[in-house]
Amino acid sequence: MIQAGAIQVIPGSGGQLGQVLATRALPGSGGQPPTNGSGGTGASTLPAAVALVPLASKASPPQPPAPPPNRSASTIPENGISGTGGTSGINGTTNGTGSQAQPAPAPLTPASASAPAPAPPPQAAPVNSAASVVTIIQQLDPRDIDGQGTADETDTRSPTQRQQQEREDTPKSARQPTANPAILTANERDIVQELRARDAIVRTEEESHQALAGANAGMISYSYTPGPDGRLYATGGKVSIRPIQGLEGAAAIANQAAISRAASVPGSSAADFNVAKGASRNISTMLATQASAAAESYRMVLGLNAAPSKIDLSG
C-alpha cells in the first residue's frame, strides 16, 4: 500500500526514487475502470495526489585500503632503553639485573601521518529534507489512500450490498428511483409488489368495461403512480360511455342494457354503479313508454276509442 514513508519511483524522473510524504483523494472523482494497481485486484480506482520527496544518495565512493605504516629501521631507535652491561635489541633491553624494559612507542613519521584513514562503511541513502516536494497524480486503489484503507479492508460486503445499505441510510424523501431491483430496500420491494397488483386489477377492470359497452365505449384513460423502481403503474382508469343516438324501441332498450352490464362488472367503483342505475332507469322508462304505445294501438284496433253510433229505436 502507498502510505507515508513508502519508497517508489518518481514518474518521468528516469528512475529516481522518492519517499511518499502523504496521499489524498481528489474531489469530484467518478467511477473509474478496474485496475490491478497497488493494493487492489480488479478494484475501482480513484485519482489521488501523491507527494514525494526525492532521495539524494550521500554515500561516498569506496576508498582503497590504506597501506600499513612504514616501520623501517630509520624510524625506530636501535636501543629502546640503553643500559650498562645490558644487551640491546629492537623490542627492548635486558639489563644486568634481569629486568625487561617496556618497548618505547614508535614516533610517527611524515609518511604515516599523511596516510588516509579507512573509509567508513556505506550507509543507506537518507531522505534529503532540503529537496523540493514532487506532487504527482496517480490512479490508486481507495484502500491505498490514508483514512480509507481500514474501512475498506474490513468491509467484505459486495458492491450491491453496500449500495443497498447506502439507500437504507438515505431519507425516503431524498431517494431517487432506481432501475436496479437488487438495491431496493425491503419496504420498497413491498411497495412495488402492491403497485403491480393494483396495475393488473385496474387494467382488467377497464378492459372489461370497454368490451361490454361495445359501440358505446370510448378510449380508456389511466392515471399512473411512479414506483421506487422508476416504472409507472396504473392505479386508476375510466372508459368514456356515449350511448348511440337515434335508436328506438327494442334497439334502444338493448343498447341501455349493454351500458348497464358494462358498468356492473366486479370491482366497479361507485361512479360505475351510478351509471348502471341510470341505464336501468332508462330501460324502465322505455319499457313503460312502449307498453303505453302498445295499449293505445290495441284500443285503436278494437275500436274502443271510436265515437258511439246512434241507434234508431222508432218503429
pLDDT digits (tens, 9 = 90+) for 36-57: 444 444 557 778 888 878 886 4
Model pLDDT, residue 63: 52
Highest mean pLDDT among 102-106, 116-120, 273-277, 299-303: 273-277
CB 126 within 8 A of CB 57: no
Number of Cα atoms under 13 Å in the Cβ half of residue 203: 9
Give the range among 21-25, 105-109, 239-243 with minimum mean pLDDT: 105-109
Q: What's the first-to-final CA gap in the chain, in angstroms?
A: 145
Dump the DSSP string for 36-61: --TT-SSB--EEEEEEEEEB---PPP
Pairing type for strands 46-54 and 134-140 reads antiparallel
Cell 516536494 belongs to residue: 133
Question: In this structure, is the dihedral angle defined by the CA atoms of residues 108, 112, 118 and 119, taken in order, positive or negative?
Answer: positive
Assess whether pLDDT exceeds 50 at residue 83. no
Number of Cα atoms under 13 Å in the Cβ half of residue 19: 14
Model pLDDT, residue 247: 86
Beta carbons within 8 Å of 119's beta carbon, 6+ residues apart: 60, 62, 63
Cell 337515434 belongs to residue: 246
pLDDT tens-digit series, residues 248-264: 888 888 888 888 888 88
Tell me how crowded residue 41 is: count the other CB atoms within 10 A of its CB: 9
Assess whether pLDDT exceeds 60 at residue 109. no
pLDDT tens-digit series, residues 214-225: 888 889 999 999
CB 260 within 8 A of CB 252: no
Q: Which three cell numbers stand for residue 78?
A: 636501535
Is 149 or 16 the better-scoring residue by pLDDT? 16
Percent of the chain with pLDDT over 90: 12
CB 7 within 8 A of CB 57: no
Is 13 or 183 the better-scoring residue by pLDDT? 183
Model pLDDT, residue 200: 95
pLDDT tens-digit series, residues 139-189: 887 777 766 655 545 678 888 888 888 888 888 888 888 888 888 988 999
